[in-house]
Structure 1
Amino acid sequence: MQLTILGGGGFRVPLVYQAVMAASGRVGVDRVVLLDDDAARLGVVTDVLAQLAAEAGAGPAVRATTDVDEAVRGADVVFSAIRVGGTGGRTRDERAALGLGVLGQETVGPGGLAYALRTVPVADALAARIAALAPQAWTINFTNPASIVTEAMRAHLGDRVVGICDTPIALVRRTLRAVGLDPMAFDRGEAEVDYAGLNHLGWLRAVRARGRDLLPGLLADDAALRGLEEVRLMGAEWVRAQRALPNEYLYYYDYTREAVAALAAEPRTRGEFLAGQQSAFYAAAAAEPALALALWRGALAEREATYMATERESTAAGERHAEDLGGGYHEVAVDLMAALLGAEEHRMILDVANTGPDGAPLLPGLPADAVVEVPVRVDGAGVHPLELRTELAPAMLARVAAVKACERLIIDAARTGSREAAWLAFARHPLVDSVAVARRLVDAYLPA
């Protein structure tokens, strides 16, 4: 079976390869094709994967290419993790926003919309080639902003493309542990959760097991709440007021002023830190190929330990707990692959069309073809959204609807080149507080 990775020269590709190796009896991948437009990075990542396979004693065969059609042809599963514009594009996105006094973050707010403007045309082109050359393949999208990119790719691939993110399932598993359940209870169908929203904009509003909702009891338990990363970021009092556990990225919406001030005060943005770190890694690994794996592991440990460090410092959230370390999207991707290929059944939280099991919208007021992030059951027949028994509170739904409208405007702007659509998208976003600032953002972003 062939797994094609779009963005195959990316820093986190070895995590996917490791997860595939560890799950060899579940997913049966015997060849991995890496696609990237940077041949030098492809060479470094190929060295890392070869050393991982040698360390394990075996691993899927790896082939690297810069040709899209060669990479896609014959694929059974396509994993999309591209970064259009590279880390240089990300740093421009962050700095342009911060320079105008609004949030500079790669997926949330104006930075995310700018990233989408660059990415949607490329995602469209890639999805069209997948539809033409590997129409039977499942496409798993992790390219950010995941909600926007998945929705764009659906125009070509329909239900054969699914968006993934590790933050909602990590929140669910930490919550299950906090209420005394096995963290995998939802995955196995032993617990039911109501999580809904968009990628990086969602809330966990119920956890049902043993015939009752366990979330109210957790919200009343100070000690248990302190064990949750999201509560350490945003405060138990605010979480209780919402009667729901927020995705950690809600910090940027609920503490916008504090987030902007903290990010602006840093000598480097997150993008600038990663650009420097990754540049050093790729250069060192190219110079010393035999050390590629060791160098990658050192860089990965630093990257994970510093994730959202500025936000945690500004809120006194403290160091990340051991269970919060490790980007788990690669494990989510393998579980999804195993289910879609028919070997297993999993309950997950994924980015899918807003259509429930009865055909009605999962989130009322949003278009049926809008991509939302909700609980699903996945098996060999596909992805099946689960019923949501707890509605989003009106204020939550209003925020989701506003952001989704901006996402759809930015897709239109990316496809048509409409400066007006881009201006509307930025101006109507909850994290942009001025039409004039929105115009200046468009002027800053479009040339790049």
Structure 2
Amino acid sequence: MILPSGTSVATVKMTILGGGGFRVPLVYEAVVAARERVAVDEVVLHDDDAARLEVMRQVLAQLGGTPRVTATTELTVAVAGADVIFSAIRVGGTAGRTRDEREALAEGLLGQETVGPGGLAYAMRTVPVVDRIAETIAEHAPQAWTISFTNPASIVTEAMRDHLGERVVGICDTPISLVRRALRAVGRDARAFDTGAVEIDYAGLNHLGWLRGLRAAGGGEDLLPGLLADDAALAGLEEARLMGPDWLRTIGALPNEYLYYYDFTREAVAGIAASERTRGEFLLAQQASFYERAAAEPERALELWRAALAEREATYMATERESQDAGERAEEDLGGGYHEVAVDLMAALLGGEEHRMILDVGNAAPDGSPIVAGLPADAVVEVPVRADGAGVRPLAGTSPLEPVMLARVQAVKACERLVIEAARSRSEETAWKAFAFHPLVDSAAVARRLVERYL
């Protein structure tokens, strides 16, 4: 973080779309903690589920803090006059997620929320809704920055950019968490990239990217080869425990942990299929219990939320780690961090700070050339950027993806764009094409059956 001398702290109205969602208190806590950086005076929660909104309002009230918190089911009321809008919606709820997972598993394919056919199905439901949201923001809060947590992040951000342009940015905590783990593993400050002391080479799409370089600012020695050669250092990395150090050395990079689903697809499918419940089914049951109990005992809403959160975070990717004998999740990896990434971005855009981050942005460099060579300039990619009061700009230093990586990224991006087209046109044929050509769908016949059921 760099706060220029004499910079005043901004006063901000913030709207959270999906304001009845389970992880909203994490965002609120991060906002309250950052009040000296960006003074959020008002937090507006928006959701179409009034009961969940009330539960979250109770949780935030018990957390305390200075922002005034209001809740509404009216979208226009929620966004009008907002300075920053956090979009964290889940179209179809967790029940929709469980159906996405089970339909794919029934065909022997990966059943996962954001990756593969489950992610495409989720996008089919979500794109029409975020189109309407983005149109409303463009009309009633054209000056606002929209920070999207909504999955599948690459698809959703690209769809919203058609209406909001560069004033919408997608975020995810997995790439920056990977960078920080790698820095710790080589004995550097975990936030050395954030401060500009270290330069990185990271590129790809959301949940489909690789860290391929890690060097001191100014062109120092690349520290990544030494890390890849060091089994003891790799043992502290979630990605190495999940996919094995030999595979990381073979590809010469540290993959985003979601690459497990692409590189170890059979193992992932077998592990999920053998589980009594999918991740979605676990969360569906857990959240239903939490919201029911919190509504019945509103005075205990915060206590109940904290207990549910601890269980949720401790079991993240548990099936995958178990199937690979990867052990328990490291303490420093618990709790996530997308809410902190979002607040850092907000503090950069509105509070006068400067941050180096990895975000989902358009693929055009300042000179108009593609950041990730081989993808269209208007495609959304996940790359290192600098964010400050002037906006979000890609950092130099992204080298071309090697052919095998680029081929996968190009195939997935093509399917993402087809899904956006299919969701808007309601074309079953376009959706079929999107599913059939995805790297994690191995049969056009299976793809057609999935599309028929999902639609």
Q: Shared topology, TM-score over 0.5?
A: yes
Contact kept in structure 1, 2:372 and 2:398, CA below 8 Å = no
Check if 1:33 corresponds to 2:35. Answer: no
Task: Give the 3-state SS of the residue equivalent to 1:2 in structure 2.
Answer: strand
Match of residue 86 from structure 2: 79
Q: What one-letter code is carried by the residue in structure 2 that aligns with 1:370? A: A
2:248 paired residue number? 239
What whole-Å deviation, never above 9, does each CA across 1:214-233 have from its counterpart, x for those lacking one?
00110111100110000100
CA RMSD of aligned residues (A): 0.7
Q: TM-score, normalised by structure 1?
A: 0.98
Equivalent-residue separation in structure 2 for 1:67 and 1:80 (angstroms): 15
The Cα offsets for residues 275-311 of structure 1, whole Å up to 9 and x where unpaired, read as: 0000000000000001000000000000000000000
Partner of 1:270: 279
Deviation at 1:312, TM superposition (A): 0.1
Residue type at the aligned position of 2:36: G
Following the alignment from structure 2 to structure 1, what is the Cα–Cα distance between the partners of residues 169 and 31?
18
Residue 125 in 1 paired to residue 132 in 2?
Answer: yes
Counterpart in the other structure of 1:166: 173
Distance in 2 separating the partners of 1:125 and 1:217: 49
Q: Is the 8 A contact 2:203 2:398 kept in 1?
A: no
**Where in structure 1 are there 5+ consecutive unaligned residues?**
none
2-side partners of 1:366 and 1:392: how far apart? 11
Q: Secondary structure at the match of 2:194?
A: coil
Aligned to 2:193: 186
- Equivalents in 1 of 2:361, 2:399: separation in Å? 19
CA-CA distance at 1:388 after TM superposition: 2.9
Is 1:17 the equivalent of 2:42? no
Contact 2:171 2:341 in 1 (8 A): yes
Is the counterpart of residue 306 in structure 1 residue 353 in structure 2? no
Tell me, yes or no, if the aligned pair for 2:385 and 2:392 is still in contact at 8 Å.
yes
User: Is the CA contact (8 Å cut-off) linking 1:207 and 1:215 kept in structure 2?
Assistant: yes
Alpha-carbon contact 1:342-1:381 (below 8 Å) kept: no
Separation in structure 1 between the aligned mates of residue 303 and residue 398 of structure 2, nearest angstrom:
48
Q: Using the alignment, how far apart are the partners of 1:90 and 1:249 within structure 2?
A: 17
Deviations along 1:179-198, whole A, 9 cap, x unmatched? 11101110011100011000
Q: Return closer, same or farther for 1:378/1:158 CA change in 2, 3 Å cut-off.
A: same
Question: CA–CA distance in 2 between the matches of 1:391 and 1:225?
Answer: 25
Corresponding residue of 1:441? 450
More displaced stretch, 355-364 vs 192-201? 355-364
User: Are 1:19 and 1:331, in contact at CA under 8 Å, matched by a contact in 2?
Assistant: yes
Residue 194 of structure 1 aligns to a residue whose secondary structure is strand
What TM-score do the two structures reach when normalised by structure 2? 0.96
- Given that 1:362 and 1:388 are in contact with CA atoms closer than 8 Å, whether structure 2 keeps it comes out as no
Task: Give 1:393's aligned residue.
Answer: 402
Tell me if 1:288 matches 2:300.
Answer: no
Equivalent residue, structure 2, for 1:96:
103
Corresponding residue SS for 2:172:
coil
SS of match in other structure, 1:212: coil
Please say if residues 38 and 351 of structure 2, whose CA atoms lie closer than 8 Å, have aligned partners that are also in contact. no
State the match for 2:338 in structure 1: 329
The Cα shift of 1:327 comes to 1.3
The alpha carbon displacement at 1:357 in A equals 3.4
* Deviation digits for residues 323-372 of structure 1 (CA, Å, limit 9, x no counterpart): 11011000000000000014200000000000123321011121110000
Query: Runs of 4 or more off by more than 6 Å in structure 1?
Result: none
CA distance, structure 2, for counterparts of residue 136 and residue 239 of structure 1: 43
